[in-house]
Amino acid sequence: MKVVRIVVLALLICVSCKEGPKKKYKPASLGAINTLAVVMDNDLWEGAVGDKVREHFAAPVLGLTWDEPLFNLEQMPPSVFTGTTRHRRAVLYINRDSISGAQVQTDLYATPQKVGVIKAPSDSVLISTIDTYAHQVIAAIREMELEEAQQRFFRSLSKETVLEEKFGISLRLPSLYMVGKQEENFVWIDREIQKGSMNIIAYEMPADSFQSDSTFIRDIVSMRDSIGKKYIPGPDIPDRITYMGTEKAFAPYVFPAEIGGKKGVEVRGIWEVVNYPMAGPFLTYIINDSINNRRLVLEGFTFAPSTNKRDYMFELEAILKTVKFK
């Protein structure tokens, strides 16, 4: 009997060795979307280094009707950064150190989590290091925040199939969004918010659209205006034709993009209602879908008078970036 016990014990030891060390548990991270915990000494925060942090991490978001910061910054000294405070999802850690450098660490204290660390021996070197690496830290945090928002959509997804039926695509669309209008080459989906609405539209353009680089932005504006005039009317005003167009005083921002595994462009700007005082931000993706011989256009825009719109547009961006082609 003693021999049998020894054999069983030996087998258990071997099995546990093969399994290897257990993965260390990390708690779920905390924090509102687009809120960044900035861990740095108070004297740094109140001086030129803090100004440089705000210059990059609280820079105005492009394409909004008024200035809103990229992240809400919540500064705290390192002595406070303990316990559950370390579970913040987005963290920027800056301090003086004998060596200079920057890195982004993933799931250091919680999950999901990104911790941007920037160190340097003096304030002047800290400032130059922030200038050099801020865009990398911002990109990593924004990607995480978009994924976090997309994960939250799973709590209640829409079962609407109109986008698949008309355009052969799917979006991870929260159930609060409802189909408001559908035509042969146009779908309008929206949700009500406290002071207005958040909107998504989809339509196709010919594959040979936008052939000239010299007129590219003008052609985008012309496309948006023609679609708005045809499908998106404004308020019913006597003796006026009102519809959603593109704000003429501000040229839209255009960037290369990859979305749904396909190349395209991202366009950010301001929409307006022609012949009526109403405006708001829009985000458009024009996707090169050569397999289907078309340019697919997905756009999100917000109507929310006298209200901050950054987080609304961030949600729309997160939705549009879930596009999948069937």
pLDDT at 245: 97
Integer Cα distance of 257 and 279 in angstroms? 25
Question: Is the distance from CB of 89 to CB of 110 less than 8 angstroms?
Answer: yes
* Whether 144 and 167 share a structural domain: no
* Whether 167 and 286 share a structural domain: yes
The pTM (predicted TM-score) of the whole model is 0.90
Domain holding 208, by residue range, is 162-325
Number of H helices, E strands in the chain: 7, 15
Q: Is residue 127 part of a domain?
A: yes
Question: Residue 121 is which amino acid?
Answer: P
pLDDT at 326: 87
Q: Quick one: tokens of 250?
A: 């501000």
CA 244 → CA 31, 66, 226, 275, 281, distances in Å?
A: 36, 19, 9, 10, 12
Q: Is residue 2 part of a domain?
A: no
pLDDT higher than 70, residue 7: no
Where is the domain boundary, 109, 130, 153? 153
Question: Which has more pLDDT, 304 or 20?
Answer: 304
How many Cβ atoms are within 10 Å of 230's Cβ, its own excluded? 13
Q: What is the mean pLDDT of residues 280-287?
A: 98
Q: Is residue 7 part of a domain?
A: no
Q: Quick one: tokens of 125?
A: 């070197």
pLDDT at 205: 97
pLDDT at 22: 60
Question: Is the distance from CB of 90 to CB of 71 less than 8 angstroms?
Answer: yes
Where is the domain boundary, 129, 153, 177? 153
pLDDT at 4: 43
Token pair 């961006």 in the structure block, residue: 317
46-83, pLDDT tens digit by residue? 999 999 999 999 999 999 999 999 999 999 999 999 99
* Whether 68 and 136 share a structural domain: yes
Burial class of 92 by CB neighbour count within 10 A (0 to 12, 13 to 18, 19+): buried
CATH of the domain at 261: 3.40.1000.10
Token pair 């991270």 in the structure block, residue: 29
Q: Is residue 25 part of a domain?
A: no
122-176, pLDDT tens digit by residue? 999 999 999 999 999 999 999 999 999 999 998 999 999 999 999 999 999 999 9
Q: Is residue 13 part of a domain?
A: no
Q: Is residue 28 part of a domain?
A: no
- Tallying the residues shown for the chain, one arrives at 326
Q: Is residue 293 part of a domain?
A: yes
Where is the domain boundary, 103, 120, 153? 153
Integer Cα distance of 96 and 82 in angstroms? 19
Q: Quick one: tokens of 135?
A: 């865009």
Integer Cα distance of 184 and 289 in angstroms? 19
Read off φ and ψ for residue 106, nearest 5 degrees: -110, 130
Integer Cα distance of 262 and 254 in angstroms? 17
In the chain, the number of structural domains is: 2
Q: Is residue 76 part of a domain?
A: yes
* Whether 115 and 199 share a structural domain: no
CATH of the domain at 114: 3.30.379
* pLDDT classification of 25: cutoffs 50, 70, 90: confident
